Amino acid sequence: MATPVNTNSSLPATTHTPAEPVPVVGPLGWVLVLVSGIGLILASWLLYPTDYDGMWAGYRDGVIGTIVILCAMALNTSVPKRPFLGICAICGILLVLFGVFLSNPDVVTIAEVVGGAVLLAGTGMVAAGDR
């Protein structure tokens, strides 16, 4: 025998919605962008040799690191994020290309390739978390 359904219930109808995931991709990407910029500046001061190649790599990476930090700060404001994400992506691509194709000491090559890869990963995460 079936139990009849009481349609005169005074309880409100509840709908179960699945919980949304916590948006951590964007902030984690921002941290990666900031860390790559700070790491580049610190590497140019602390790790690079003082010879000709190390000096020019330090200048180049110091300027790129400063640009990346300024773009990371701009990503935390209310201005549009796309231009700053584009600048960060271009800087990441340049760092990887400088590390691969220029004949620098091993420390400079590793710092540039790792910094560029982290910067590209962080830029992609910020762009993915912004949707």
Provide the number of structural domains found in the chain.
Answer: 1
Position 23 scores a pLDDT of 76
Residue 14 belongs to some domain of the structure: no
pLDDT higher than threshold 70 for residue 87: yes
Give pLDDT tens digits for 92-131: 999 999 999 998 899 999 999 999 999 999 999 999 887 6
DSSP labels, 91-128? HHHHHHHHHHHS---HHHHHHHHHHHHHHHHHHHHHHH
56 inside domain: yes
Residue 64 included in any domain: yes
For residue 80, the SS3 value is coil
Report if residue 7 sits inside a domain.
no
The model carries a pTM of 0.79
Judge whether 19 lies within some domain: no
Domain with 123, as residue range(s), is 25-129
Assess if residue 62 is contained within a domain: yes
Asked, for residue 2, whether it belongs to a domain, the answer is: no
pLDDT digits (tens, 9 = 90+) for 15-44: 666 655 557 788 899 999 999 999 999 999
In a domain, residue 20? The reply is: no
